[in-house]
Chains A and B, each alone.
Chain A
Amino acid sequence: MADEIRQRVIEIIAEQALVDVSDVSMDQSPADLGIDSMGLVESIFALEESFDIQIPFNANDPQAGDFDISTVASIIGAVEGLVAAQRS
């Protein structure tokens, strides 16, 4: 399950960044991948649709809120948390 989430999140980020899945590494930030603020909003939307979750995110202050978008790894972790909460 965790692998599935990781794989899907990376696919979504890669699609938004217009790069190959193999070019996405865990320690990169969205900005490193060339994802701007609107790209970030679209990525959040795609994650919500894909996993049927609600992500707290305000484009005015992307760092605020509990959803850590600082790196690919942190995004995967945050999505895993929301998916787990969804099931409990």
Chain B
Amino acid sequence: MRRVVITGAGTINPLGHDVASTLTAMCEGRCGIGPLDIPLIDRLTVRIGAQVRGYDETAHFDRPQLSLYDRFTQFALLSAQEAVEQSGLSFDGALSERAGVVVGTSGGGLNTQDDNYRAVYEAGKDRVHPFVVPKLMNSAAAAHISIRHNLRGPSFTVSSACASSNHAMGQALALIRAGMADAMLTGGSEAMLCFGGVKAWEGLRVMSKTGCRPFSADRDGMVQGEGAGIFVFEEREHAMRRGAAILAEVAGFAMSSDAADIVAPSRDGAARALAGAMRDAGVAPDNVGYINAHGTGTTANDRTECAAVMEVFGPHAPQVAISSTKSMHGHLIGGTGAVELLACILALRDGVIAPTIGHRRADPDCALDVVPNVAREADVGVALSNAFAFGGMNAVIALRRA
């Protein structure tokens, strides 16, 4: 079977505007969550979030571009640029037809929708900008990455709520394995921190007003974030022939569905995705040194996720380090798996396990090594990244050290 490696990574998220600063923040256990700075904040009851701060869109894009690029497209384009530069690939000639892009997103151009609904309903305007549709469509980020980098093979968007990024990267892996492409840009992007985006989550009553404390007995919910992560997935022989630096191998992937409840997670569904990814990668529990948890900080997720890990890892479960970096960058919804894959690369390549910060008190329902508060050095050969979404859609990726 054709093997797939990662030869480039890029990101912009609440912890940093590139990969290096993000990994530094993860090592330091820095928190990107704070008071939300968005219009109409006084009409929200949830007033914290993990925003991309210090970001000026006009420093990166000109006016014609900004009329087409929603914030989620901007984040995806900036991340893709960093990833492509690191990979050293240029998509011209034959490679361009063998290269594509799969981006995960849940809300797509939600800021654009929010702004324009406000314009027509609240401000009573009868006319909107001509590019509202191409700006808000969920496929806009993938399309603009394809256009910018001349990727002329398969391009599309995957949307499975909080598992969108992992499902997207799984599709990119499958396309290269199947011989349908040699290189794929893939990951996810999300920008939902606008009034409508936060208001909708607020309604669900699962949001914390105090912070994201996964696995801590005093946790009280999730915190929304925003941002993107994009990677260059490349067929291994292709990468080796050109002497590319390899960040990690994408060794396995599995998806499962709970087929049960629209919001409540299931141990069985999560366990089958975990076990499936390990089977696909050909690894046993004692090969796995790190799990980047879905770890939302809700009561239901963290308890169910830990039970699934215990079921799959059995007696080895206490030996596996499992952390939730959402404690630092918040829940990037459709973009979250991509940013969390960076923590897996950090563990494999740099030997550092990012912590679960904000952890105050052990929860007997989460009796695993959750790497509380402080990063740790470790020799990790295989890392897993979990995503368990609303809708009962689960996707787990296995990375192996290059």
Contact = CB atoms under 8 A, between A and B. Distances in A.
Interface in A18-57: 37-38, 41, 44-45, 54, 57
B220 A37 contact: no
A58 B264 CA distance: 15
A61 B220 CA distance: 7
A60 interface: yes
A58 B263 contact: no
Given A37-B264, A38-B263, A60 B203 contact: no
B58 to A, nearest CB: 39
B177 to A, nearest CB: 38
A45 B205 CA distance: 10
Nearest to A40: B205
Given A60-B299, A61-B299, A41 B221 contact: no
Given A41-B204, A44-B205, A45-B203, A60 B263 contact: no
B204 A58 contact: no
B326 interface: no
Interface residues of A, number: 12
A60 B264 contact: no
A59 B220 CA distance: 9
B220 A60 contact: yes
Contacts of B298: 59-60
- Is chain A's binding surface mostly helix, strand, loop or mixed? loop
A48 to B, nearest CB: 10
B206 A59 contact: yes
Name the residue in B45, B298, B299 with the highest tally of chain A Cβ atoms < 10 Å from its Cβ: B299
Nearest to B298: A60
A45 B221 CA distance: 18
Contacts of B300: 60
B236 interface: no
A58 B203 contact: no
Contacts of B262: 38
Given A37-B264, A38-B263, A57 B205 contact: yes
A68 B149 CA distance: 57
Interface residues of B, number: 15
Contacts of A41: 204-205
A60 B208 CA distance: 9
B329 interface: no
Contacts of B203: 45
Q: Which of B203, B205, B263 has the most chain A CB atoms closer than 10 A to its own CB? A: B205
B219 interface: yes
Interface string A47-82: 000000010011111001000000000000000000
Interface string B269-301: 000000000000000000000000000001110
A68 B204 CA distance: 19
Nearest to A55: B205
Contacts of A64: 220
B332 to A, nearest CB: 20
Contacts of B221: 58-60
Contacts of B204: 41, 59
Contacts of A54: 45
A44 B262 CA distance: 19
Contacts of A44: 205
A64 B204 CA distance: 16
A59 B264 CA distance: 12
A19 to B, nearest CB: 21
Interface string B186-223: 00000000000000000111101000000000011100
A57 B209 CA distance: 11
A68 B205 CA distance: 16
Interface string B24-45: 0000000000000000000001
Nearest to B206: A59
Contacts of A61: 220, 299
A38 to B, nearest CB: 6
Contacts of B45: 54
A64 B220 CA distance: 10
25 contacts: A37-B264, A38-B262, A38-B263, A38-B264, A41-B205, A44-B205, A45-B203, A54-B45, A58-B206, A58-B208, A58-B220, A58-B221, A59-B204, A59-B206, A59-B221, A59-B298, A60-B206, A60-B219, A60-B220, A60-B221, A60-B298, A60-B299, A60-B300, A61-B220, A64-B220
Given A44-B205, A58-B205, 9 more contacts: A38-B262, A38-B264, A45-B203, A57-B205, A60-B206, A60-B219, A60-B220, A60-B300, A64-B220
